[in-house]
Amino acid sequence: MVTRSKEIVAPTTVAEPSAAQGASRPIIIQPTRGLASLQLGAVWEYRELLYFLVWRDVKVRYKNSILGVAWSWLNPLLMMVVYTIFFTILMRNTNFPHYPVFLLCGLLPWNFFSESLTSATGSIVNNAHLIKKVYFPREILPISIVFSSLVNFLIALPVLFAMTLIFGVHLTPWVSLLPMTILIQVIFTVGLTLILSTLNVFYRDTQFILSVLMLAWFFLTPVFYPIETVPQSATLLGVTFNPRLWLYRLNPMASIIASYRDLLYWGAPTGWDFLLRTAVTSLFVLIVGYIVFLRYSPRFGEEV
């Protein structure tokens, strides 16, 4: 007869937590400070949403349109014809060679800039239903407007290249620097749209004021006239200053459009010191705009 020995298992004891260990500790949530508060990777994590919003804006732009994407080419062409007739026939400004090409070099970037600002300013308020229901980085809304306007700008850009061929303006290898100028303009535009879209959430008059400011900004930017026509000396309230120099310093779009003309019209490189100063200014505007946007974005849900 075989007997099996029984295994004796020692009972395990579970120590009861002491009062100090069992006491719940308060969880303190504090906002991040410094560079960590910028959340630079948030937009990249939601890049698919950004792509969807950009594609949606592009499709809505040409929805139920007979000509569709052809309007991206016809719009600058029609505006070019109007300005050319006015300044070369009515105003007798015939001393400037290849004026239609000169005009398009300033008109296309300005249309991209103006369209981005006027549309992106109301992007937060117009998408209040998304902000109240779904979490995503709010900055994607104005950025998507800028990117969709960029797509429209790139679609219209071949019109400029076609006009250079028609009027015999020879492109030089310096045109390869064009993506750098476009990038600087995108950085500057995104920074401004972040600031303006934040202001519009709390002050809905921003959109109405912006339309007036954009008109004044247009005439203060050498879009349809050469910067050389601006005098280098003027006196205001007894103070003599250089209007042309201060136009470059206080108006980044004047510097950006001048860079477009250097590369596409004059066939010459933009001065590196001049380009670097514009790039630093644009980057500064972007950083300030992003900080302001993130500072007030937690209140968007209550205000919209």
List pLDDT tens digits, range 181-203.
999 999 999 999 999 999 999 99
What confidence score (pLDDT) does residue 176 get?
93
The pTM is what? 0.83
pLDDT band at 248 (very low <50, low <70, confident <90, very high): confident
pLDDT tens figures, 138-175? 999 999 999 999 999 999 999 999 999 999 898 999 99
pLDDT tens figures, 221-240? 999 888 888 888 888 888 88
Under 8 Å between Cβ of 100 and 279: no
DSSP labels, 127-194: THHHHHH----TTHHHHHHHHHHHHHHHHHHHHHHHHHHHTTPPP-GGGGGHHHHHHHHHHHHHHHHH
Domain ranges of the chain: 58-303
What confidence score (pLDDT) does residue 27 get?
54
- In this structure, the strands spanning 239-241 and 234-236 are antiparallel
Under 8 Å between Cβ of 175 and 89: no
d(C-alpha 235, C-alpha 103), whole Å: 30
What confidence score (pLDDT) does residue 189 get?
97
Under 8 Å between Cβ of 213 and 230: no
User: Is 41 a residue whose pLDDT tops 80?
Assistant: no
